[in-house]
Amino acid sequence: MSSARVGAIRSQSQLKVTSTGSSSFRSPHAPRNSVLLGDNVPLMAGLPAESVDLVFADPPYNLQLANALTRPDQSRVDAVDDDWDKFADFSAYDSFTRDWLAAARRVMKPNATIFVIGSYHNIFRVGAMMQDLGFWILNDIVWRKTNPMPNFRGRRFTNAHETLIWAARDSSCRSYTFHYEALKAGNEDCQMRSDWLLPICTGGERLKDAAGRKTHPTQKPEALLARVMLAASNPGDLVLDPFFGSGTTGAVAKRLGRDYLGLERDPAYAAAARERIAAIEPLPDEAIAAAPTKRSAPRIAFASLVESGLVAAGAMLTDLHGRHRAMVRPDGALALGQIVGSIHKIGALAQGLPACNGWTFWHFESGGGALAPIDDLRTIARASLAAAAE
Amino acid sequence: MSSARVGAIRSQSQLKVTSTGSSSFRSPHAPRNSVLLGDNVPLMAGLPAESVDLVFADPPYNLQLANALTRPDQSRVDAVDDDWDKFADFSAYDSFTRDWLAAARRVMKPNATIFVIGSYHNIFRVGAMMQDLGFWILNDIVWRKTNPMPNFRGRRFTNAHETLIWAARDSSCRSYTFHYEALKAGNEDCQMRSDWLLPICTGGERLKDAAGRKTHPTQKPEALLARVMLAASNPGDLVLDPFFGSGTTGAVAKRLGRDYLGLERDPAYAAAARERIAAIEPLPDEAIAAAPTKRSAPRIAFASLVESGLVAAGAMLTDLHGRHRAMVRPDGALALGQIVGSIHKIGALAQGLPACNGWTFWHFESGGGALAPIDDLRTIARASLAAAAE
DNA sequence: ACGGGTGATGAATCGCCTT
DNA sequence: CAAGGCGATTCATCACCCG
């Protein structure tokens, strides 16, 4: 997506709609870069279907602390005991979960994905409900906390992680956004794993009121949201957060050039989030622009390399070890003895395999008798194509 | 538990009952150190209620493989496609899960706990069902694999972990076994966290047939089972595994001086497991004996220290900084001015806190004017108590 | 014996476009 | 819409062979 488009979307969308919970507005486009006040289910019902690119949801965890929790020094742990985290029983929590998940699914574009974060108190119910509603789980991801709260009673393992579920809208969604190569490049050239080690949100990042009390009990670290958005969204995408809280999703979205839409029931949280996001400075477009990937590179026919003279008709190609030899035909096909076919087909045939990437399998003799893959020639062809387009 | 008791339990239990799946046997005690052949639900129905100390369950994951998967070198991945992992739909899997979980819950002693392992394909359904059946989740634990299979198509995060759910039979179970201090001592004096880093089962540990094929497609590493049993069972305890498979639970139980009961449907798996376990050499009792913990150490009344002369009546105790001073009364109470109470109550009162551990708060003057906690005197008292019991 | 190279393998819901 | 072609894609570990 070009930065021009990003700008256009941003400018159209500073409407700051405020709703009281009824489906009081309808528009062909979802509002962008706003915090909508009210219950998220009717608010989502008021959004156009298939209008958001990514959902991040941090629903109430349904924590069940029977009694007050104290540290060994008898100081009281400031546990989550807000009204929004109280449910009569599992059935009430399931019903709540079904409602918001179904509403979120409706507004997801066909190739959108959703992340939901939770702990063992609620994540199993959330995950089962997602499967029941037709979501297609892509991964579960473990956020390993570098600095979790210890288990003060010494009766359990330190609860040192939370779980995220990443899912597509349904099982047929195959072209969801996933920046595999960028993540790998940023991870020592190793695939990004399903376990992420990140600190919890503390220090200057943690929102506090004038008296020093934390604004929101479960503020998520921006690094977590950043990894989510960098992995599964593009600049200019609309990220919906139906449990906006302190607005971490909005803050990170703005910084990373994504658009956000936050839904929040509590006016105080919404106000704190708006203030927080207003202070965010977006990163420059160059820092955000999606890196070109091999999958997105323009397709080049091997025939065009022959036509342009990068490969001579009649030249012999071999595999890296010189075990197989094939001749380049003027029409861009390869000939292995009497058999003629594409670079891929002939490569597969030569090895007795069902498939083969001919670009990396076949080599030509470059300077000094060294062998180089014909993929190098494709790179040259792509460069001259790009130069011609300037 | 003494090693004598461990020996007694072991000798009673080498019956090796074999059942074909009907509830054909009844006994006041569950059989021990046996593999029972048949469906686990009727087999568990035939066991006495409240007869096992720990359950470890590795149920089918309900993997849903659409197509064959190949590595980048076109080699075929040997996926799990066994009949026992085929379910018509989520509803069939839920029903299967409910049945075996309910049967397992019935045979758990009131303070028994259960570990269930799974992946994102099934663990959410399992966890929700456990909550519905009344299990009380204590932790979810993440087994982080050091050497997971990569994601060959680059379309998702590397699926690098599996999840274990640890639960008590119900929310009222408070005295379940958990060797907090032994785990902490073995973890650089740091609380054991909910994320465990362990390699998958390969190499010599992996059972293979004469042709070199793996005996079981999903054999779990012994290190994983060892951590489970060391954390949540005592020597001589009965560990039930309703999905015994290749018998890792039995092998580790035997090595660690626990008794096992394995339920397995497939005669070939059961036979392989029996052979495997027969070759296991148990560790010596000294290596296994539960380390004494503070909780299990005999309670010592402060009064008994006064009686034995370790503390003199009339002696003054202070906190570490000398801010508070209290006098030892001959009845083992403390006096802070006119107020009299236990070492704990007076310690709390002195600090204005709701509670206080008097053993670590109050200090006495040991040799050379140095202050030492009265807990040191308790340690001495315990040592002489143990010596007297010899 | 040791080291390097090659090959095998593990609970996996693992494409997209054109015709 | 189904079928077929293009062409993109792997990490840690262990076993084995060879020099």
Q: Is the pLDDT of residue B13 over 50?
A: no
Q: A97 and A196, same structural domain?
A: yes
Which residue segment(s) compose the domain that B382 sits in? Answer: 300-386
Which chain A residues in 341-370 sit with Cβ < 7 A of strand D?
342-345, 355-360
Interface touch A158/B128, C-beta < 8 Å: no
Scanning B325-364 for CB atoms below 8 A from A yields 348, 353-357
Can you read off the two tokens belonging to residue B43?
């087999």
Q: Is the CB of A304 under 7 A from strand D?
A: no
Alpha-carbon gap, residue B230 to B288, rounded angstroms: 9
Contact in structure between B57 and B114 (CB atoms under 8 Å): yes
Q: Is B22 within a domain?
A: no
Can you read off the two tokens belonging to residue A221?
């670290």
Chain segment B237-257, per-residue pLDDT in tens:
999 999 999 999 999 999 999
Contacts of B178 in chain A (CB under 8 A): 155-156
pLDDT, position A24: 44
Of residues B331, B307, B327, B315, the one with CA closest to residue B365: B315
Contact in structure between A65 and A79 (CB atoms under 8 Å): yes
Band (B266; pLDDT cuts 50, 70, 90): very high
Length of chain A: 390
Q: Is the CB of A300 under 7 A from strand D?
A: yes
Measured between alpha carbons, how far is residue B238 from residues A73, A205, B229, B248 in Å?
Answer: 37, 49, 10, 15
Neighbours of A240 (CB within 10 A): 28
Interface touch B131/A74, C-beta < 8 Å: no
Contacts of A95 in chain B (CB under 8 A): none
Q: A316 and A238, same structural domain?
A: no
Alpha-carbon gap, residue A352 to A23, rounded angstroms: 61
Domain limit, last residue, from B257, B285, B313? B285
Q: A100 and A221, same structural domain?
A: yes
Length of chain B: 390
Contacts of A194 in chain B (CB under 8 A): 157-161
pLDDT, position A372: 85
Q: B238 and B122, same structural domain?
A: yes
Q: Is B243 within a domain?
A: yes
Sheet holding A339-341, edge to edge: A339-341, A334-336, A325-328, A316-318, A363-365, A371-373
Contact in structure between A158 and B193 (CB atoms under 8 Å): yes
Give me the residues of chain A with pLDDT under 70, please.
1-27, 63-80, 83-88, 390
Q: A99 and A133, same structural domain?
A: yes
Contact in structure between A207 and A4 (CB atoms under 8 Å): no
Contact in structure between A80 and A63 (CB atoms under 8 Å): yes
Is residue B260 exposed (0-12), middle (13-18) or buried (19+ Cβ within 10 Å)? buried
Q: Which amino acid is at A316?
A: M
- Please report, rounded to whole angstroms, the spatial distance between the CA atom of protein residue A187 and the C1' atom of nucleotide D11: 13
Measured between alpha carbons, how far is residue B342 from residues B295, B326, B328 in Å?
Answer: 19, 11, 10
Q: B343 and B313, same structural domain?
A: yes
Q: Is A227 within a domain?
A: yes
Contact in structure between A371 and A364 (CB atoms under 8 Å): yes
CA distance A325 to chain B (A): 19
Beta strands at A195-198 and A259-264: parallel, antiparallel or unpaired:
unpaired
pLDDT, position B11: 36
pLDDT, position A86: 63
Q: A219 and A110, same structural domain?
A: yes
pTM of the model: 0.82
Interface touch A124/B120, C-beta < 8 Å: no
Q: B261 and B305, same structural domain?
A: no
Phi first, then psi: give them for residue A204, nearest 5 degrees. -65, -25
Closest amino acid to nucleotide D6 (CA–C1'): A344
Provide the number of structural domains found in chain B: 2
The CATH number linked to A235 is 3.40.50.150
Alpha-carbon gap, residue A208 to B126, rounded angstroms: 39
Q: B352 and B248, same structural domain?
A: no
Q: B264 and B118, same structural domain?
A: yes
pLDDT, position A57: 98
Give one word for B212, left, alpha or beta, with left for phi > 0 and alpha for psi -120 to 50.
left
Q: Which helix (H) or strand (E) holds B365?
A: strand B363-365
DSSP-derived 3-state class of residue B103: helix
The percent of residues in chain B predicted with pLDDT above 90, rounded, is: 60
Q: Is the CB of B75 under 7 A from strand D?
A: no
Of residues B187, B163, B61, the one with CA closest to residue B122: B61
Which residue in A120, A148, A184 is closest to B137 by CB distance? Answer: A120
CA distance B192 to chain A (A): 6
- Give the distance from CA A176 to its chain's centroid: 9
CA distance A80 to chain B (A): 18
Domain limit, last residue, from B285, B314, B349? B285
pLDDT, position A18: 44
Band (B292; pLDDT cuts 50, 70, 90): low
Q: Is A54 within a domain?
A: yes
Can you read off the two tokens belonging to residue B359?
């053993």
Q: Which of A367-371, B98-102, B197-201, B232-236 has the lowest mean pLDDT?
A: A367-371
- Please report, rounded to whole angstroms, the spatial distance between the CA atom of protein residue B199 and the C1' atom of nucleotide D13: 10
Q: Is A169 within a domain?
A: yes
Chain segment A322-363, per-residue pLDDT in tens:
788 999 999 999 999 889 999 999 999 888 888 889 998 898
Q: Is B40 within a domain?
A: yes
Q: Is B91 within a domain?
A: yes
What stretches of chain A show up as alpha helix (H) in DSSP?
3-11, 40-45, 90-107, 123-133, 180-185, 222-232, 248-255, 267-278, 285-288, 302-307, 343-351, 358-361, 375-389
Q: B234 and B196, same structural domain?
A: yes
Q: Is the pLDDT of residue B64 over 60?
A: yes
Q: B263 and B116, same structural domain?
A: yes
pLDDT, position A388: 80
Distant-in-sequence, close-in-space partners of B199: CB < 8 Å, separation ≥ 6: B145, B146, B147, B221, B223
Q: Is the CB of A190 under 7 A from strand D?
A: yes
Q: Is B275 on the interface with A (CB under 8 A)?
A: no
Band (B29; pLDDT cuts 50, 70, 90): confident
DSSP-derived 3-state class of residue A320: coil
Contact in structure between B329 and B311 (CB atoms under 8 Å): no
Which residue in B160, B178, B192 is closest to A195 by CB distance? Answer: B160
pLDDT, position A15: 38
Q: Is A229 within a domain?
A: yes
Q: Mean of the pLDDT values across residues B190-200?
A: 93
Domain limit, last residue, from A285, A312, A340? A285
Q: Is the CB of B197 under 7 A from strand D?
A: no
Which residue in A126, A158, A178 is closest to B191 by CB distance? Answer: A158
